[in-house]
Amino acid sequence: MRVGLLHPGEMGAAIGALLVERGHEVLWLPRGRSEETARRAAAAGLTSAEDLNDAGVILSVVPPHAALDVARSVQGAPALVIDANAVSPMTATRIGELLGGRWVDGGIVGPPPTQAGTTRLYLSGERAIEAARLFEDTNLEPVVLHSSPVAASALKMAYAAWTKGSAALLLSSLASARATGVEDALLVEWSRSQPKLEARSRAASHSAAAKGWRWVGEMNEIAATYAAVGLPSGFHDAAAAMFERAAGQERADLNGRRPITFNHVAVAAKDKRQSATFLKDILGLPEPTSWGPFLSLTLDDGVRLDYAEPGIDFPGQHYALLVSDEVFDCALERLKTDGVPFSAGPGQPANEINHNHGGRGVYFDDPSGHHFELMTQPYGADL
């Protein structure tokens, strides 16, 4: 069988490799992808393709904030789509509505399945049993849940609420002790009364620094799940903030001083709601919020774009945003789907991207005439 994979990140590539071992041809879309992704795909034995129209099954394994846009990108494909992303039952329901009877809800529990007995793929929906057959006798154990069409996502949310949520609580405990000058004393007490916590806190710090940007979206999905069933959602909102903080700390070299960070910028707009909504849709960001005369769009690091209507003519400004490969893929797909003109750069050919600085970049204009640039590597990263 031909299986389409969106996209071969660490988890997706490992799943693709085990399907190749089972004799399936696993297709991936290299157009616009990074060299790192291409290396993972090659190591997993995946087959590059122009599209996934020949696939019988499409497996979506992307960060939570990208799941809806990826689902939109395969609406026209005839394949059965297994959405194996860490999203709330509500988001899963929306994906099901987009894809209709070609959709199976999924949730992965465990690490990339490189050995047996470590990882499960929970599945639910009318065609879950059919989807499960694809993974029989592989390192990824399929488990079908029958309680509801979105039971797989519900289980993933409940499971990660503890595993990643408790890691965030541990990080917050350590951060509090560090801020109040009692970190050493806390570590001594842990060694006496909770001897496993110090090692676990180191592991949590390492994982959050590497993957915190991805876990922020997952915590937001868990918070939404809690709120929908009448449970307090504040803890996982706070967990999202802790992971955001952890990812930012890994990127910063503070040299013992208080960090200097960018907070907000006013963005002139002809129609502030139109411009803010445009960028929200392209990047998969939360809904903009009103504050005085501004309509604010908050980026993942907390920086705000405060859209306002000055009532006078203004020149277009340049805004460059550093994004992950996954966000870049979804944004590029959205630009194509919405018919937004884009190019590799000023004066460069249309409908192409660049590969500057060892990454990828794309330029496009917003409805107010501002010039946006998305890049996966900062300038000079390849020096």
CATH code assigned at 99: 3.40.50.720
Residue 257 lies in a domain: no
Amino acid 260: pLDDT: 65
Name the pTM for this structure.
0.67
Q: Is 250 exposed, middle or buried (0-12, 13-18, 19+ CB in 10 A)?
A: middle
Q: Does residue 198 form part of some domain?
A: yes
Same domain, 27 and 128: yes
* Same domain flag for 16 and 119: yes
Whether 271 shows a pLDDT value over 60: the answer reads yes
Mean pLDDT value across residues 143-171: 95
Q: Among 1-15, 241-255, 363-377, whose mean pLDDT is lowest?
A: 241-255
The mean predicted confidence, pLDDT, of the chain is: 89
Average pLDDT, integer, range 175-181 = 92
236 and 311 housed in the same domain: no
Give yes or no: residues 240 and 283 share one domain: no
Give 46-61 as a 3 state SS string.
CEECCCCCCCCEEEEC
Domain that holds residue 35: 2-148
Sign of CA dihedral 5, 8, 14, 20: positive
- Helix residue ranges per DSSP H, 291-353: 325-337
The first and second tokens of residue 320, run together, are 């460059």
Q: Write down the residue that tokens 């031909």 correspond to.
A: 2
Q: How confident is the model at residue 130 (pLDDT cuts 50, 70, 90)?
A: very high
Confidence of residue 382 (pLDDT cuts 50, 70, 90): very low
Query: From edge to edge, which strands make up the β-sheet containing 294-298?
Result: 264-268, 304-308, 294-298, 289-291
Torsional sign, CA 282, 104, 122, 15: negative
Q: Is residue 193 part of a domain?
A: yes
Percent of the chain's residues with pLDDT above 70: 95
Q: What is the CATH number of the domain that holds 192?
A: 1.10.1040.10
- pLDDT for 254 beyond 50: no
Q: What is the mean pLDDT of residues 217-233?
A: 93
Q: Hey, what long-range contacts does 358-361 have (CB within 8 A, 24 or more apart)?
A: 358/35, 358/382, 359/34, 360/32, 360/33, 360/34, 360/325, 360/328
- What does the DSSP assignment read for 93-161? HHHHHHHGGGEEEEEEESS--SSTTSEEEEEESTTHHHHHHTTTTSSEEEEE--S-TTHHHHHHHHHHH
Backbone angles phi and psi of 371, in degrees to 5:
-105, 110
Q: For residue 293, what is the domain's CATH number?
A: 3.10.180.10
In a domain, 335, yes or no: yes
- Of 132, 148, 164, the one marking the end of a domain is 148
CB atoms within 10 A of CB 78: 12
Which pLDDT score, from 0 to 100, does residue 103 have? Answer: 95
Looking at 91, 123, 148, the residue that finishes a domain is 148
294 within some domain:
yes
Q: Give the per-residue pLDDT at 246.
A: 77
Task: Give the mean model confidence (pLDDT) for residues 80-100.
Answer: 95
7 within a domain of the structure (yes/no): yes
Give the pLDDT band of residue 383 (cuts 50, 70, 90): very low
The residue with greater pLDDT, 261 or 287, is 287
How many domains would you assign to the chain? 3
Cα(107)–Cα(120) distance, integer angstroms? 8
